[in-house]
Amino acid sequence: MPLMSVPPPVKLEKTVSARLMSVDALRGFAMFWLIGGYGILQALVAWINWPPLTAAAQREMHHPVWSGFQQIREMVRGAGLEPATPTVSR
């Protein structure tokens, strides 16, 4: 009984487009801040101890407290998502 020959495995190379690499870079940047990038940045700025860098970091990392959407109706109206007003015909 003859043995069946098995072809060698085909090596598949993945090609990554520049667009996907930029998405990966954006995701990595976002994950850095989500896992505590602010604390790392604070420690680095404190270690460098250069007043212009300290002032810039404080200015850029200060954000107002989130208080939710205050004007949701205007946002919906501005986006054109307001439901149609029913009309009564007589």
Note the pLDDT of residue 44.
94
Note the pLDDT of residue 31.
93
b/e sequence 49-69, b meaning 16+ C-beta within 10 Å = eeeeeeeebeeeeeeeeeeee
Q: Please give the model's pTM, rounded to 2 decimal places.
A: 0.47
Instruction: Using the predicted structure, report yes or no on whether residue 1 has a pLDDT greater than 60.
Output: no
pLDDT in tens, 11-68: 666 665 666 788 888 999 999 988 999 899 999 999 999 999 999 998 988 877 876 6
80 — pLDDT class (breaks 50, 70, 90): low
Note the pLDDT of residue 5.
76
